[in-house]
Amino acid sequence: MADDEAIDLPEPSLKNVLDQTSLQWVFVGGKGGVGKTTTSCCLSIQLAKSRKKVLLVSTDPAHNLSDAFCQKIGREPTPINGFDNLSAMEIDASQEAVSELEDSAEDDVFGQMFADLQNSIPGIDEAMSFSELMKQVQQMDFDVVVFDTAPTGHTLRLLSFPTILEKAFAKVWELKDRFGGLITQATALMSGGSDPAAAQEQLLGKLEETRAVINKVNQAFRDPAKTTFVCVCIPEFLSIYETERLVQELSKYGIDSHNIVVNQVLFPEKDAEELSDWYESAKATLPKEAQQVCSKLLARKQMQDKYIGQCFDLYGDDFHVVLMPLLDYEVRGVEKLKGFSELLVEPVDLEE
Contact 213, 134 (CB under 8 A): yes
Facing residues of 28 across strands?
A: 148, 230
Instruction: Put the strands of the sheet holding 144-148 in their side by side order.
Output: 78-79, 86-90, 54-58, 144-148, 25-30, 227-233, 259-265, 320-325
Facing residues of 55 across strands?
A: 87, 145
Is the sign of the CA dihedral 161, 25, 63, 249 positive or negative? positive
Determine whether 60 is an active site residue. yes
- 324 to each of 38, 125, 147, 250, 267, how far by Cα in Å? 11, 38, 20, 23, 9
Nearest to 30 by CA among 229, 317, 282, 328: 229
Q: Which ranges of 140-259 does DSSP label H, i.e. alpha helix?
A: 152-178, 180-190, 196-221, 237-253
Nearest to 348 by CA among 330, 328, 323: 323
Q: CA-to-CA distance for 68 and 340, rounded, in angstroms?
A: 12
Which contacts of 268-275 are long-range, i.e. CB under 8 A and separated by 24 or more positions?
A: 268/323, 268/324, 268/325, 268/347, 268/348, 268/350, 269/348, 269/349, 269/350, 269/352, 271/305, 272/298, 272/301, 272/302, 272/305, 275/301
Q: Which of 8, 60, 108, 318 is catalytic?
A: 60
Going by the DSSP 8-state scheme, the letter that residue 10 receives in this structure is P
> What residues are labeled active site?
60
